[in-house]
Structure 1
Amino acid sequence: MQSDTLETLFGGAAGGGKSHGQLLDALRFAVCYPGSRQLMLRRTMPELERSLVPAALRLYPQCIAKYKVSEHRWDFANGSALEFGYCDAESDVTRYQSAEYDVIRFDELTHFTESQFTYLLSRIRGTNGFPKQVKATTNPGGVGHQWVKSRFIDSMPPDTVREFDGGTRLFLPARLGDNPFLRKADAGYEKRLKLLSPTDRKALLDGVWELNEGQYFSEFSRDLHVVKPYAIPHDWRRCLTIDYGLDMLAALWIAQSPDGHSVVYRELYRPGLIISDAAAQMLACETAGEHIDCRLAPPDLWNRRQETGRSAVELFADSGLDFVKSSNERVAGWLALHELLQPRKDTDGAVRPRLTIFDTCHNLIRTLPALQHDKRNPSDTANTPHELTHAPDALRGYAATVYEPVKAMPQSAYDCEVGEFLRF
């Protein structure tokens, strides 16, 4: 963990001593840089209290640092501080909005979303001249598997410093053999790892990043499904599909070719919008002369509100947007989306999926591959972290509504009723 790079990831196999390495490196930094400030994060507070807190209490000499339980902070005799924190909900990053840290440490980085990570990078700042770094440990798997793999694993070989705009980045592979103390103290640990499923065994025993058993859309590939923007032909039908709540508006514009290929060509992703503002922003995204053939919204927007007696759909209509109901069948919608994402041989012999996404749709690209299987219903997706669900839910509404594998898309004009829209 003693790396000088801006971003360091120590990750891979379980049992490599990653968390203890973080704690010892934090202790070294606090002693070497009097008055320094560090933040060490887990996704939830219970995870902190089960792992890092008791480990630090065993490791840190009480003569040089005291732990303040109420503030979850180690105060060192030389003025340094090590704070323990968490980011359970996406919005929890705002609790650190005005803070300044020299080092931020993530334990189990793949449990965090990419937006949480990038926001917290902005909290690494200060004028004290101390090194400014982010250090992370993790195993493969979890909601952040794809973005962590893309950022640290796919972009560079291990044990090699990579330069990028603004700093340097390093990936250090973790192996069970790196921790001889565990192997000596618990000789059966490796044997228990070998009893796991093949995917979990490769991830936790061998530190393999190419497999993620919990990922719902394992067929998703940036190389295959993400494309550069291009001009949409005028004869393609266009649809707007949304997932709306005060916490987030996720709007996707999708075009479909006459032969049944769909492309997500625009997205709008905004929190905290009332209906009139959401409608105004969606209309502002559309170009002059752009004809939207159909606008889809989930059935819950037809529910009447007690305070007004009117539904969200009626309020959208007042602001100039008329919606029709999308299908709300979750499992059927996800299965339809699987079909659209599945690469198949086309009429010209090329293998391609029936759904692609412009690379400008950053939030859909970020959240779709991050969805995990629901542990209670593997046919469905997990609904936590909730921030990951908005854009995929909007896309699911489209897929569930328009997908009919046995029908060809009609060539005649239609009146924008869902039953006549985009069948293929």
Structure 2
Amino acid sequence: MNLDFQITPKQQLFMDTDAFEVLYGGAAGGGKTFIQALDALVYALRYQGSRQLILRRTFKELERSMVPQTMELYPASVASYNTSKHIWKIGKSTIEMGYIATEGDVQQYQSAEYDVIRFDEMTHFTESMYTYMISRVRGTRPFPRHVKSTANPGSVGHTNAKSRFIDIGAPMEVHRCEGGTRLFIPAKLEDNPFLLTKDPQYEERMKNLPREIYIALREGNWDYYVGQYFTEFKRELHVVRPFEIPAWWRRYVAIDYGLDMLAAYWIAVDENDYAVVYREVYQPDLIIPEAAKRLLNANCNDDITAWFAPKDLWNRRQETGKSVSDLFAEYGLYLSKVSNGRVAGWYELKRRLQPVPDVDGTLRPKLQIFDTCLNLIRTLPGLQHNEKNPNDTATEPHELTHGPDAIRYFCDGCPLPAELPRVRDEDYLSTEEEMGNVFSY
């Protein structure tokens, strides 16, 4: 069958690639939904008997985007849509329209097999939703298998998409990764001349958006995204190479502890209240004795002013009458309680992320992070605004909260800056040849 559609070179690459996982994403208006629908049709026609699944987070989203797009594109002569089952029938092939609104919804696909799964707006799905569905790409049919996604920056799956596709290497190149090959195709507004021709005022209207949202949606910049809480975070500004920390800087440790994750950070503060996060422990499934031992071993005999922890670690357990803090103390680790005021803590962290003039006039944020603290660098910019309370951060995906929560406890603990070492009188004295006469009063 001859399909007469105009597509761009990047859309052609999306259709032709052999990569197992593909993300075509970035700027709004890049023609992503169109090419996802067209590629599904071409695949169904080419590989008769194939099974595909197109997913959105809710079925209402499907009805507003992908269903009308496929209705417009798919010729009635070869394709028929079952509105009750939400399945396109194209010869012997099928294209199913589905949704995953909650984590539990993945179970409806537990026994399913698909040749291609397509995520329309991949960033709306959590990492666990995405990775579970990859396991549904299987079967005995001799067809090429793919997970093909489109997305804009932002939402709960932003960090997963960024780490899975953007951070692995150069775009437009297939990268071999654990579990298969991956390809990222950046979408720009300029890549869709058809939209610019039909709606020339589209770009001008986008300028009404807040700056960070405009940058994310216009430029497809994955360091900015819709809903991002810490828009102050800039990798080039806040992430630094490790350096030797002066011995007289005050040192603190802030921890977020639970069986699901121990996140601990060592932070040094200079005399001007500039802080640097210099060490990270990020490990799940540690019971209290193991967690205490891990922290003490990681400390490397650093002189710690305070070990900050949230007040819930002082709640006494019914079965023992002891708190987590009590149990840590039994292993020689004495915690300092912080109030755990969420919004106040986040605002103080925002303040520390803002660049301010250093003593020499150089703009520098009050908090920087060694590039060895990989999980904090990954999760801090991934936090989103809480939909019900925009002043707070979202608590989902929960995996993103551990590191930032620990840094919030550091801010909440009101750490003191270091004191410059006192200079002894004899340090001022030298020989007469070097200093001249020294007068005493």
Pairwise same-fold verdict (TM > 0.5): yes
Secondary structure of 1:368's counterpart equals helix
Tell me, yes or no, if the aligned pair for 2:216 and 2:224 is still in contact at 8 Å.
no
Matched residues in 2 for 1:263 and 1:204: separation?
Answer: 28
Task: Give me the whole-angstrom Cα distance separating, in 2, the residues matched to 1:115 and 1:344.
Answer: 39
User: Size of the alignment, in residue pairs?
Assistant: 403
Q: Which moved more, 1:342-351 or 1:169-178?
A: 169-178
Unaligned ranges ≥5, structure 1: 414-424
Q: Percent identity?
A: 49
What letter is aligned with 1:242? I
Return closer, same or farther for 1:312/1:39 CA change in 2, 3 Å cut-off.
farther
> For residue 18 of structure 1, what is the amino acid of its counterpart?
K
The equivalent residue for 1:396 is 408
- In structure 2, do the counterparts of structure 1 residues 293 and 120 end up closer, same or farther at CA, with 3 Å as the change threshold? farther
The verdict on how the C-alpha distance between 1:194 and 1:300 changes in structure 2, with shifts beyond 3 A counting, is same
**C-alpha distance in 2 between matches for 1:98 and 1:319:** 48
- Quote the offset at 1:300 in angstroms: 1.2
Cross-structure match for 1:269: 282
Q: 1:358 to 1:52 in 2, by over 3 A?
A: same
Paired with 1:123 and 1:321, the residues of 2 have a C-alpha distance of 46
Contact 1:66 1:74 in 2 (8 A): yes
Q: Which residue of 1 aligns with 2:345?
A: 333
What aligned pairs does 1:171-250 form with structure 2 within 5 A after superposition?
Answer: 171-173=185-187, 175=189, 178=192, 190=202, 197-199=209-211, 202=214, 206=218, 208-209=220-221, 212=225, 214-250=227-263
Q: Does 1:364 align with 2:373?
A: no
Secondary structure of the residue aligned to 1:321 is coil
Q: 1:140: Cα distance to partner?
A: 3.5
Is it true that 1:306 corresponds to 2:318 in the alignment?
yes
Please list the CA deviations of residues 162-216 of structure 1 after superposition, one character each: whole Å capped at 9, or x if unmatched.
Answer: 25454463424254994969998xx899599559534488368745537545322
Please state how far the C-alpha of 1:250 moved relative to its aligned partner.
2.1
- The CA deviation string for residues 86-144 of structure 1, in whole angstroms up to 9 with x for no partner, is 3845x998999999865443321333466876787788778977445442212243345
Does structure 1 retain, via aligned residues, the 8 Å contact 2:87–2:94?
no
Output the CA distance in 1 between the equivalents of 2:374 and 2:246: 23
- Do the aligned partners of 2:30 and 2:187 also contact (CA within 8 Å) in 1? no
Instruction: Give the direction of change, closer, same or farther, for the CA distance of 1:150–1:274 in structure 2 (3 Å limit).
Output: closer
Counterpart among 172, 175, 195 of residue 161 in structure 1: 172
| Cα 1:170/1:311, change in 2 over 3 Å | closer
SS in 2 for 1:264: strand
Q: What's the secondary structure of 2:386's corresponding residue?
A: coil
Contact between 2:33 and 2:66, CA under 8 Å: does it hold in 1? Answer: yes
In 2, the alpha carbon distance for the partners of 1:161 and 1:121 equals 22
Letter in 2 for 1:395: I
Separation of aligned partners in 2, 1:126 and 1:8: 20
Per the TM alignment, residue 283 of structure 1 is displaced from its structure 2 partner at its CA by 3.6
User: Match for residue 37 of structure 2?
Assistant: 23
Aligned counterparts, 1:21-420, within 5 A: 21-33=35-47, 38=52, 40-43=54-57, 47=61, 52=66, 78=92, 84=98, 86=100, 88-89=102-103, 103-112=116-125, 130-145=143-158, 148=161, 161-166=172-177, 167=181, 169-173=183-187, 175=189, 178=192, 190=202, 197-199=209-211, 202=214, 206=218, 208-209=220-221, 212=225, 214-284=227-297, 286=298, 288-403=300-415, 409-410=418-419
Q: Take 1:359 and 1:118, find their aligned partners in 2: how far apart are those partners?
A: 27
Distance 1:395 1:206 in 2: 32
Larger Rg computed on CA atoms: 2
Return closer, same or farther for 1:307/1:369 CA change in 2, 3 Å cut-off: same
TM-superposed CA distance for 1:289, in Å, is 3.4
Contact 1:195 1:201 in 2 (8 A): no
Moved more, 391-400 or 171-180: 171-180
Q: Distance in 2 between matches of 1:93 and 1:254?
A: 40
> How far apart are 1:4 and its partner, in Å?
0.5
Q: Residue 13 of structure 1 contacts residue 176 of structure 1 at CA under 8 Å; is this kept in 2?
A: no
Alpha-carbon offset, residue 409 of structure 1: 3.5
Question: Could you tell me whether the CA contact under 8 Å between 1:30 and 1:76 is conserved in 2?
Answer: yes
- Distance in 1 (CA, whole Å) between partners of 2:239 and 2:370 is 6
Rounded Cα–Cα distance in structure 1 between residues aligned with 2:162 and 2:278: 25
AA at the equivalent of 1:382:
A
After TM superposition, give the deviation of residue 329 of structure 1 in Å: 1.8
Counterpart for residue 432 of structure 2: none
| CA distance 1:262–1:116, change in 2 (3 Å) | farther
- The normalised TM-score by structure 1 is 0.73
Could you tell me which runs of 5 or more consecutive residues in structure 2 were left unpaired when the two chains were aligned: 1-13, 423-441
Distance 1:201 1:277, change over 3 A: closer
What's the CA shift for 1:46? 6.5
- Give, in angstroms, the shift of residue 396 of structure 1: 0.5
Kindly indicate whether the alpha-carbon contact (under 8 Å) linking 1:243 and 1:298 is maintained by their aligned counterparts in 2.
Answer: yes
1:264 is displaced (CA, Å) by 1.8
C-alpha separation between the residues in 2 aligned to 1:216 and 1:88?
23
CA distance in 2, matches of 1:369, 1:265: 18
Q: Cα 1:34–1:218, aligned 2, differ >3 Å: closer, same or farther?
A: same
Aligned-pair Cα RMSD in Å: 4.6
CA 1:202–1:361 in structure 2 vs 1: closer, same or farther (change >3 Å)?
same
State the AA in 1 paired with 2:240: V
